[in-house]
């Protein structure tokens, strides 16, 4: 039901993912009539797709916790219950990120030692090996929370991107440990004393310089950065169009513009896993079309195969063992 | 003396600015031998350029205040004194931003009602009418300081960009007043009660959507954003090169790459005025070549003609009058 478009995009997205992955079985959670109406527009005979009916959905402008109390059988709550009961291996949602996170925490629980989940990953096609945490759920983070997020980022970098010993850095306004706001200065000490492969502070340009594999920041900044990149991508397409349309055929200009837009908007076409809950939950972009829905499912299948959640669990356990050893 | 290259770039930059602006008179402040050596490589007969000797320079990795105490006749201190004594109308520096700001505050003083200066301006060619404050000098800002910065941004937007009644917004992670970190939530109330044309919170994509003319954020975030854009520009040039070189002649690819880089790096070619001190001080990018030096001087001449400092003074006075009226 989620996302800006609901079944008219999520259903075709699911069917595309089923085409690409015959081993996949999908349960569509939502309002039966709406989902059935969309399914009836496609040929679904013999395909592994079924409907789990739910009641209502959590809207973007609702307070997640309050909405979940009011709508205990909303689509996101019903979907999460399938994973909680072992009837599904992952949830894929294009709906309210806040509601998805809150439901995931309530239904699946947090990994041991963690206070809050976060969102992370590589979000720029021109920086494909740079993992960033937190990309936008937690503002005003204490240093110990950032350290836990760093461990989750390390697990992602290792399992998903194949980087054996990821270098971890704090995002700041200068490399020296004295640079940065109070949060970063306090975190710097904690990170330096941890078992992480901490390489110090990096700056805004270092998403692209390869100085670190995992860049850690507050979700306030992470969210601003991901939306800034998204907006910049949207602004650069007409800019390039203007410069290129005099010298290249329209179709080529179009292709170059689309490729640029995609590289600035990886989460729109790939989705990303929620970090830190006891189960696999994929967050898709709210404005995803069918391509984005299929992309989020694809990424989810990969994360499942890589046992990403187990990686998160191990990395957090290692972090907390190391902290106990030191104290 | 400042910047990554010193006289070999600053001197040719000055000469280029003199060519473009015959009314200009320039005093080169620095080590006489080094400046003279560079001048001797050019034809300077009859040109309005002289040398004011100084002793030493403040390096980027020095603590500004401590360095200024150790080197009271450094190039930046000597240059600032020329403005302080009325012997020059503005200082243009490619050197340590911290040192330039600290010297400006000490020698020229802050505008009335202000606790700290800041850096602001429009920094992206694809968002030419969006003014951002603070771009990077003040971390951990209290709401009242952000409000003062907002007034400075309004003055810049009005005088420099010609926007009559600039709409002011706070940078956050959602439009609702409840969204954001504590700093933004507290600032929101203060901004709403002020006389500014406050339009609420905006998000990271709104640098490009025209929802606000002046976007206000902490210097920690501003600095990260400006460097992020810079790094992204540098990463997009080879990305585009790769995609375009198969279909366009090398020279055109080069031109498009350079234009894109410039649009992501306005401060490198234009410099920007320091906001909030009692005199005109232009901050150039440390890596400026002669073009960047000439650009910063050009921008400075424009700011001088527009009486930007007087605009800052008036806007701050108006802000404080309004606050007094309300309390």
Per-residue pLDDT tens for A219-270? 999 999 999 999 999 999 999 999 899 889 999 999 999 899 888 888 778 8
Nearest to B208 among A139, A205, A232 (CB): A232
Positions of chain A with pLDDT under 70: 326-327
Q: Is B315 exposed, middle or buried (0-12, 13-18, 19+ CB in 10 A)?
A: buried
Distance, in Å, from the CA atom of A304 to the CA atom of A285, rounded to the nearest integer, reads 19
What beta strand segments (E) does chain A contain?
26-30, 49-53, 90-93, 118-121, 131-133, 168-171, 198-202, 214-216, 272-275, 280-283
In Å, how far from its chain's centre is CA B2? Answer: 15
CB within 8 Å: B171 and A243: no
Nearest to B139 among A140, A173, A228 (CB): A173
Helix, strand counts (H, E) of chain A: 12, 10
ipTM score above 0.90: yes
Alpha helices in A22-73 (DSSP H): 32-39, 64-70
Find out whether A74 and A25 touch, Cβ atoms under 8 Å. Answer: no
Interface test with B, best of A142, A173, A258 (most B CBs within 10 A): A173
Smallest CA–CA distance from B183 into chain A, residue: A140
Q: Is residue B318 part of a domain?
A: yes
Q: Is residue A29 part of a domain?
A: yes
Distance, in Å, from the CA atom of A73 to the CA atom of A60, rounded to the nearest integer, reads 17
Task: Find, among A322, A114, A263, A289, the residue nearest to B242 by Cα.
Answer: A263
Pair of tokens at residue B17: 């600015």
pLDDT of residue A326: 63
Nearest to A220 among B173, B225, B226 (CB): B173
CB within 8 Å: B124 and A232: yes
* Residues β-bridged to residue A52: A29
CB within 8 Å: A227 and B204: yes
Q: What is the 3-state secondary structure (H, E, C) of A25-37?
A: CEEEEECHHHHHH
Find out whether B285 and A272 touch, Cβ atoms under 8 Å. Answer: no
Q: Can you give the length of chain B in residues?
A: 327
In A, which residues are within 8 Å of B223 by CB distance? 173, 203-204
Q: Can you give the length of chain A in residues?
A: 327
Nearest-Cα distance to chain A for B206, in Å, is: 7
Task: Find, among A63, A74, A20, the residue nearest to A300 by Cα.
Answer: A20
Task: Find, among A209, A263, A258, the residue nearest to B230 by Cα.
Answer: A209
pLDDT of residue B24: 96
Contacts of residue B321, Cβ cutoff 8 Å, sequence gap at least 6: none
Q: Domain range holding A169?
A: 7-326
Q: Is residue A20 part of a domain?
A: yes
pLDDT of residue B272: 92
Distance, in Å, from the CA atom of B12 to the CA atom of A180, rounded to the nearest integer, reads 35
In A, which residues are within 8 Å of B210 by CB distance? none
Q: Is residue A197 part of a domain?
A: yes
Tell me A277's DSSP state.
Answer: B
CATH of the domain at B168: 3.40.718.10
Nearest-Cα distance to chain A for B174, in Å, is: 10
Contacts of residue B145, Cβ cutoff 8 Å, sequence gap at least 6: B115, B116, B138
DSSP-based three-state secondary structure for A77: helix
Find out whether B207 and A231 touch, Cβ atoms under 8 Å. Answer: yes
The CA-based dihedral angle spanning residues A288, A290, A291, A295, taken in that order and rounded to the nearest 10 degrees: 80
CB within 8 Å: A140 and B256: no
Distances (CA, A) of A61 to B31, B97, B175, B179, B205: 61, 42, 10, 11, 18
Q: Is residue A1 part of a domain?
A: no
Nearest-Cα distance to chain B for A276, in Å, is: 21
Nearest to A181 among B205, B220, B240 (CB): B220
Interface test with B, best of A118, A132, A201, A232 (most B CBs within 10 A): A232
Positions of chain B with pLDDT under 70: 326-327
CB within 8 Å: A173 and B224: yes
How many interchain CB pairs under 8 A, A with B?
Answer: 142
Smallest CA–CA distance from B261 into chain A, residue: A236
Q: Is B273 exposed, middle or buried (0-12, 13-18, 19+ CB in 10 A)?
A: buried
Smallest CA–CA distance from A140 into chain B, residue: B181
Distance, in Å, from the CA atom of B262 to the CA atom of B233, rounded to the nearest integer, reads 8
Smallest CA–CA distance from A61 into chain B, residue: B176
Smallest CA–CA distance from B181 into chain A, residue: A139
What is the tally of structural domains in chain A?
1
Smallest CA–CA distance from B231 into chain A, residue: A205
Q: Is residue B316 part of a domain?
A: yes
Task: Find, among A289, A208, A117, A232, the residue nearest to B232 by Cα.
Answer: A208
Q: Is residue B2 part of a domain?
A: no
Q: Is residue B1 part of a domain?
A: no
- Supply the angle between the helices A308-326 and A143-161 in degrees, to the nearest 10: 140
């Amino acid at each position: 039901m989620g996302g800006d478009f609901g079944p008219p995009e999520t259903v075709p997205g699911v069917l595309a993912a089923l085409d690409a992955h015959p081993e996949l079985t999908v349960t569509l959670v939502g309002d039966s009539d709406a989902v059935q109406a969309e399914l009836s527009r496609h040929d679904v005979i013999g395909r592994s797709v079924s409907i789990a009916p739910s009641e209502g959905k959590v809207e973007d402008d609702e307070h997640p916790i309050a909405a979940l109390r009011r709508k205990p059988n909303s689509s996101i709550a019903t979907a999460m219950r399938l994973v909680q009961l072992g009837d599904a291996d992952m949830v894929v949602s294009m709906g309210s990120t806040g509601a998805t996170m809150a439901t995931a925490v309530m239904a699946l629980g947090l990994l041991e030692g963690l206070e809050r989940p976060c969102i992370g990953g590589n979000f720029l096609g021109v920086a494909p090996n740079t993992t960033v945490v937190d990309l936008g759920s937690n503002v005003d983070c204490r240093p110990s929370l950032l350290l836990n997020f760093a461990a989750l980022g390390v697990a992602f970098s290792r399992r998903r991107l194949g980087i054996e010993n990821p270098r971890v850095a704090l995002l700041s306004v200068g490399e020296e440990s004295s640079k940065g706001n109070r949060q970063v200065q306090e975190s710097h000490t904690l990170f330096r004393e941890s078992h992480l492969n901490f390489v110090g502070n990096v700056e805004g340009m270092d998403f692209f310089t390869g100085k670190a594999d995992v860049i850690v920041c507050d979700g306030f900044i992470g969210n601003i950065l991901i939306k800034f990149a998204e907006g910049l991508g949207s602004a650069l397409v007409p800019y390039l169009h203007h410069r290129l349309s005099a010298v290249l055929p329209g179709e080529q200009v179009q292709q170059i513009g689309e490729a640029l837009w995609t590289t600035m908007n990886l989460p729109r076409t790939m989705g990303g896993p929620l970090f830190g809950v006891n189960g696999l939950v994929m967050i898709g972009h709210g404005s995803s079309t069918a391509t984005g829905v299929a992309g989020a499912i694809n990424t989810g299948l990969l994360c499942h195969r890589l046992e990403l959640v187990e990686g998160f669990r191990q990395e957090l356990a290692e972090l907390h063992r190391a902290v106990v050893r030191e104290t």
